[in-house]
Amino acid sequence: MKLLPVRNCGQLGIELSINDGDGTRVTRNFLDGLINIIVKRATNYFDVTGENIFLRKEKQILSVICPSIADMTCDFVMEQPLKRKPTGEEESTGRVDYWINYHNYSYLLELKHTDFFYKNADNPPEYISKQFNSALIQLKNIRTDQCKYLTNDKGIFKVAIQTVAFYQHSKDKFEDKDVVGSFMKLIKKSPFDEKPNLISLWLVPKKLKKHIEYNNRDQKYIYPAIAFVGYVSDMKPSCN
């Protein structure tokens, strides 16, 4: 993965592997722009508060995700109501984290968040793939006519993204190459139901690599990177 500097925000690498087709370029621009803005907003949040927002829970990081989406487009809804129809089960009501309209394409975005002791990359914890797979299932079970209802003129994409906060013991040696290597092992060795076709790694700037006491324990940690693991599926306007 090629990492590029982001001014005052560390380094960032983004890879999106989706087939060429209607909306591919728009989708690349949207996801690339969104992740870049999230990184910048997260850094700004640290500059004001002295805290890495990704050390918080899923609901709290929405305070960075939501305005980042708003920087890309004003046409979006949080907690969009919809109906789901799992195979062989009764229909049920539910929500998707975000419905987004960008350049007349619709995006249904489901977001998950967790952390990862990246020194254990050879044996990734099950909870990481379990959370990611749950996002895939939530999107898969959206009823067909709901897709039609939420689709704009050009088509619809379903996007599952999991943010992963990498951490290590503060006493351990840190090198960028170790983090990148651990990230690629995480992608390769985790039992994801679908192979992620969106992967991104943010190596945070030095100022964010502060020693943090976790849950008031004596042991302190460093969070040197945030990963974005995603799966993008292209749906036609009919949602077939």
Q: Contact, 204 vs 226, CB < 8 A?
A: yes
pTM of the model: 0.89
Residue 240 lies in a domain: no
Distance CA 204, CA 120 (A): 20
Q: Torsion angle, CA of 2/73/80/201, rounded to 10 degrees?
A: 10
Distance CA 104, CA 82 (A): 20
Distance CA 170, CA 224 (A): 10
Q: Contact, 186 vs 124, CB < 8 A?
A: yes
- pLDDT score recorded for residue 119: 86
Higher pLDDT, 24 or 21: 24
pLDDT tens across 25-40, in order? 999 999 999 999 999 9
Residue 143 lies in a domain: yes
- pLDDT score recorded for residue 169: 82
Q: How many domains does the chain have?
A: 1
| Interstrand relation of 156-169 and 220-235 (parallel, antiparallel or unpaired) | antiparallel
pLDDT tens across 71-98, in order? 999 999 998 877 666 555 566 677 889 9
Residue 115 lies in a domain: yes
Listed in sequence order, the DSSP H helices in 57-163 are 58-72, 126-140, 144-150
Distance CA 76, CA 59 (A): 18
pLDDT tens across 160-176, in order? 999 999 998 877 777 77
For residue 213, what are the β-bridge partners? 220
Domain that holds residue 11: 4-235
Residue 84 lies in a domain: yes
Q: Sorting pLDDT into bands at 50, 70 and 90, what band is 156? A: confident
Residue 172 lies in a domain: yes
- pLDDT score recorded for residue 125: 92
Pick left, alpha or beta for residue 79 (phi over 0 → left; psi -120 to 50 → alpha; otherwise beta).
left
15-24 — which CB contacts under 8 Å span 24+ positions?
Answer: 15/198, 15/199, 15/200, 16/197, 16/198, 16/232, 17/197, 17/198, 18/197, 18/232, 18/234, 19/234, 21/234, 22/154, 22/155, 22/234, 23/105, 23/154, 23/155, 23/157, 23/234, 24/234
Over range 59-63, report the average pLDDT: 87
Q: Which of 138-142, 186-190, 232-236 ranks highest by mean pLDDT?
A: 186-190
Over range 138-159, report the average pLDDT: 77
